[in-house]
Amino acid sequence: MARHATFAALFGLAAALATAPVVPAAHAAQAGLGAAGSGAPATAESVLASLQSMPTLKRHVVVSEPLVRIGDLVDNAGGLAEVPIFRAPDVGTSGAVPTAQVVEALRRYHMMTLDVGDIAEVEVTRAGRIVTAEAIRDRILHAFAGRYGLGKAEDLTLVVERDIRPFAVEPTATAEPGVSRASYDVRTGRFDITLDIPGSAVARRLPLRFTGTLHELVETLVLARSIQRGEVVRTSDVTVERRPKSEVPMDAAPTDARVIGLAARQTLRAGQSLRLADLTKPDLVKRDDTVTIVYRAPGLLLTTRGRALESGAEGDLVSAMNLQSKRTVQGVVTGTGQITLTSTTTHLLAAADTAPRALPETATAAAASSIRQ
């Protein structure tokens, strides 16, 4: 707690001090004080009892009220215990008052004997409950969570325009910070909120209005490097980041989307959120490439060489030229450099010449093998 150098100046209730001397405790014991008015020497027991009941100055004092009373500063203060003599420091802070000033303040109340020991000053602390900056931030987040289209508090990011500093309130003000007023601009993400601490007079004097920006964070797939058109996405090319929702495209790819192995439709820059619309299945067959044309039927497998007339990804229907018959056929891309025909296009494969000798030797062997099976 902060220590106030001007603490002594705050003690203003003992302005008119009496001049009656305060008898030090040691002097009282040395004088051998006996029973009042008896004039008889004091016994050891009576001296001990006198010392035990003697007013004694405290070294450290904790108060919870605005005023410091004699009983707060002095043990065995008797009927003077409830008498206020000083003003307490601010809530949650500490200060020191010189012992000499305490002694002078007690003179007016005729406290003739006071054991001060070796105490040079008395430290006085005003009790308080600290409201931390983290508690304020948490209250702001929960005030807007689930409202204005925002998500959970843990998914929100907060930027406050001024420093949030901890402050102290009365120990009796145990309630958490409340919200007096709050507003949020969905378009800009700006917020304006005023808080309060129920039951705290101190809090009512504090500036508890906060403004700033508030955004929801969402997880999104982000490219770790630039990818050229047609290039296939690899595992190391994609990371998951939390970004403000307003910066993530509405059609961004879900974090569990299967994007690995897909190809870029156009050049994609590093750091951008990945969209499914940016990707497509990679071409397994490219225009003008030499391909294998496959015909499958029950008990029959025929293959021949061809030239792709158009590009296509797996599952695409593309055209190719049979290099032997010079006829154009259509089939489905089933692998890298491979087009498979269906039974309805058998005549297109062989065209007018269906003799086995028109096929490569490997195709003839495969077909013969299939027939034998």
Q: What are the pLDDT digits (tens) for 83-140?
A: 999 999 999 999 999 999 999 999 889 887 899 999 999 999 999 999 999 999 999 9
Q: What is the pLDDT of residue 51?
A: 52
Q: Could you report the per-residue pLDDT of 215-272, keeping only the tens digit for each?
A: 999 999 999 999 998 888 999 999 999 998 888 998 999 999 889 988 998 999 999 9
Q: What mean pLDDT comes out for the span 30-47?
A: 47
Q: What mean pLDDT comes out for the span 203-224?
A: 94
- Band (pLDDT 50/70/90 cuts) for residue 357 is very low
Indicate the CATH number of 218-280 among 3.90.1210.10, 3.40.50.300, 3.40.50.970, 3.20.20.70: 3.90.1210.10
Mean pLDDT (the chain, rounded): 80
The candidate with the shortest Cα–Cα distance to 263, out of 317, 332, 316, 338, is 316
Whether residue 24 has pLDDT greater than 80 = no
CA distance 218 to 232: 26
CA distance 307 to 288: 6
The candidate with the shortest Cα–Cα distance to 189, out of 220, 148, 151, 143, is 148
CA distance 330 to 344: 11
Q: What is the pLDDT of residue 282?
A: 85
The candidate with the shortest Cα–Cα distance to 218, out of 188, 248, 250, is 248
The candidate with the shortest Cα–Cα distance to 244, out of 252, 256, 236, is 252
Question: Could you tell me the residue ranges of all domains in the chain?
Answer: 3-127, 131-217, 218-280, 284-372
H-helix or E-strand containing 147? none
CA distance 359 to 370: 15
* Token representation of residue 73: 């500063």
Contacts of 341 (CB under 8 A, 6+ apart): 293, 294, 295, 296, 329, 330, 331, 348, 349
DSSP 355: -
Indicate the CATH number of 284-372 among 3.40.50.261, 2.30.30.760, 2.60.120.620, 3.40.50.1820: 2.30.30.760
Q: What is the pLDDT of residue 41?
A: 57
210 and 160 Cβ atoms separated by less than 8 Å: yes
Percent residues over pLDDT 90 in the chain: 55
CA distance 110 to 78: 12
- For strands 84-87 and 67-69, give the pairing: antiparallel
Q: What is the pLDDT of residue 247?
A: 87
Q: What mean pLDDT comes out for the span 42-58?
A: 68
Domains 218-280 and 284-372 share a fold: no
CA distance 213 to 191: 6
CA distance 353 to 325: 8
Q: What is the pLDDT of residue 3?
A: 39
